Amino acid sequence: MGIATLADASRQIASRAISPVELATLCLERIAALDDRLNSFITVTPERALADAKAAEQRQTTGALLGPLDGIPIGHKDIYGTAGIATTAHSKLLQNWVPDTDATTVRRLREAGTVMLGKLATHEFAFGGPSFDLPWPPARNPWDPDHFTSGSSSGTGAAVAAGLVLGGTGSDTGGSVRGPAALCGIAGIKPTYGLCSRAGILPLSFSLDHAGPLAWTVEDCAMLLQAMAGHDPLDPASADGEVPNYTAGLGDGVRGLRVGIVRRWHERDRAVSPAVQQGIDRAAEVWREAGAVMRDVEMPSLFDYQAANFVIMTSEAFSLHEPWMRERFHDYGERLRSRMVFGGLFAATDYVQAQRFRRELCHATSEASRDLDLLLTAGAPGEAPRIDSVPKWDGLQQPGFAAPMNQTGWPAMCVPVGFGERGLPVAVQIIAKPFQEPLLFRAAHVIEGALSERSRRPALAC
């Protein structure tokens, strides 16, 4: 059997063409064969995986499958708490921490029947990286292991692209789902703030953290989000609304939808490679031909969103890590401690001003999008750089395309739109208004069908 998409595997399990145990065994064999080159896993849990898979197989044989995710092998970013299984945050500081309970999203995915293969690499505490001075090495990009995955959901990006898992969890505070999706050539969604519970996930920045899935296709992401989303009283920011069906309208197209292209961001604020520019142009053309109404839209500068995001994120992160930053500074990796330290240097008024600035930016974004349904931007500036050439102060020197939607909390996802000069994936970002994930998936599905070459996997993974 080749590498299936999550949706394909789901259909095969439902039709009894494959058993969950066969599928889990295949993934475990692939992990054993490939992951020494990718470092995507911190912890592999074969006993748990086979126990989960046998239970799913029992349900399969008795016609009692729990739903479309029953028997599907996944992995969790290692900041997601997992009962009885180490949750390290890829850090020496939590190297031996074993939570008593599952994060709410982990529980929901477990109750949907997923098979847990293990815990996936992350940038340390979802912030520092790529780091070579931690107890585990950084994840590497399956399209070329000399290259970066982006982060911080680095292990999930690598494991999904290599077909070691059929989907996985990530978190996104400044692009940590969308970055790995873009550079690893997969789909990843940062849902609306409040849609997925943060309870039981190690926080980085309370007001910016979002939980979301990564998978090979848009449909796969929609299926995972269906299980992850929903109100949770354990998360004070959790939205208390009905969760719509994310796959029902996937094929409904984009006819009549109004889309704004945010040219300013990739033409003035942050230069992109020719392949990314071509990807944006092609995506716009695909949508236009499919009946969408395209126009340019002016937004605040990327530098404004970056400034607010940086001050808020580092301030909130430092407040969480303050005791360890003072007493165990050198137990952190060098990249994390160097970035987080700035959060301890700001005045309280800086944090409040950043939150006031954030409200202005949210308002400006909303006003500019008043008569639009979707926005189109670059996913990342270009292809993945070499992992040994990522500048230490990259996030300070230049703004990224992700932070604006951490500020607004709007849903955003990255999907691949082809390959660059070095043969590595490039991506666009698609943005919708709050809780409009069904629309986001519909629009992304159109781009994916036209431009994403989902039949092409990294050579290492074939």
Contact residues toward another protein (CB under 8 A) are: 207, 236, 303-304, 306-308, 310-311, 318, 322, 325-326, 329, 338, 341-342, 344-346, 350, 352-360, 362, 392-393, 396-397, 407
Backbone torsions φ then ψ of 116, nearest 5 degrees: -90, 115
Identity of the residue, 41 or 357, whose beta carbon is nearer to another protein in the bound complex = 357
Both tokens of 12, joined, read: 């095969």
Identity of the residue, 389 or 397, whose beta carbon is nearer to another protein in the bound complex = 397
Identity of the residue, 281 or 360, whose beta carbon is nearer to another protein in the bound complex = 360
Backbone torsions φ then ψ of 105, nearest 5 degrees: -70, -35
Q: Where are the alpha helices (DSSP H) in 216-347?
A: 218-228, 263-264, 274-289, 302-327, 334-340
Cα three-residue angle 381-254-171, rounded to 5 degrees: 45
Burial of 355 (0-12, 13-18, 19+ CB in 10 A): middle
Least spacing, CB of residue 331 vs another protein, in Å? 14
Least spacing, CB of residue 334 vs another protein, in Å? 10
Range 273-282 burial, b when 16+ CB lie within 10 A, else e: bebbbebbeb
* Total Cβ atoms within 10 A of residue 361: 22
Least spacing, CB of residue 175 vs another protein, in Å? 16
Least spacing, CB of residue 173 vs another protein, in Å? 15
Both tokens of 363, joined, read: 């308002």
Q: How far is the C-alpha of 140 from the C-alpha of 386, rounded, in Å?
A: 10
**54 is annotated as an active-site residue:** no
Least spacing, CB of residue 352 vs another protein, in Å? 6
- From the candidates 152, 171, 205, 238, give the one annotated as an active-site residue: 152
Identity of the residue, 281 or 322, whose beta carbon is nearer to another protein in the bound complex = 322
- From the candidates 91, 131, 153, 176, give the one annotated as an active-site residue: 176
Q: How far is the C-alpha of 370 from the C-alpha of 8, rounded, in Å?
A: 38
Q: Which of 384, 432, 427, 396 is nearest to 411 (CA)?
A: 432
**131 is annotated as an active-site residue:** no
Range 371-405 burial, b when 16+ CB lie within 10 A, else e: ebbbbbbbbbbbbbbebeebeeeebeeebbbbbbb
Least spacing, CB of residue 443 vs another protein, in Å? 27
Q: Which of 306, 25, 7 is nearest to 167 (CA)?
A: 7
Least spacing, CB of residue 344 vs another protein, in Å? 3
Both tokens of 427, joined, read: 């991506």
Least spacing, CB of residue 259 vs another protein, in Å? 26
Identity of the residue, 55 or 307, whose beta carbon is nearer to another protein in the bound complex = 307
Identity of the residue, 328 or 456, whose beta carbon is nearer to another protein in the bound complex = 328
- From the candidates 40, 77, 153, 315, give the one annotated as an active-site residue: 77
Backbone torsions φ then ψ of 275, nearest 5 degrees: -65, -35
Identity of the residue, 311 or 446, whose beta carbon is nearer to another protein in the bound complex = 311
Q: Which of 118, 117, 119, 186 is nearest to 149 (CA)?
A: 186
Q: Where are the alpha helices (DSSP H) in 328-347?
A: 334-340
- CA 292, 295, 299, 303 torsion-angle sign: positive
Identity of the residue, 64 or 347, whose beta carbon is nearer to another protein in the bound complex = 347
Report in angstroms the alpha-carbon separations of 255 from 167, 218, 327, 376.
29, 19, 58, 16
- Provide the annotated active-site residues: 77, 152, 176
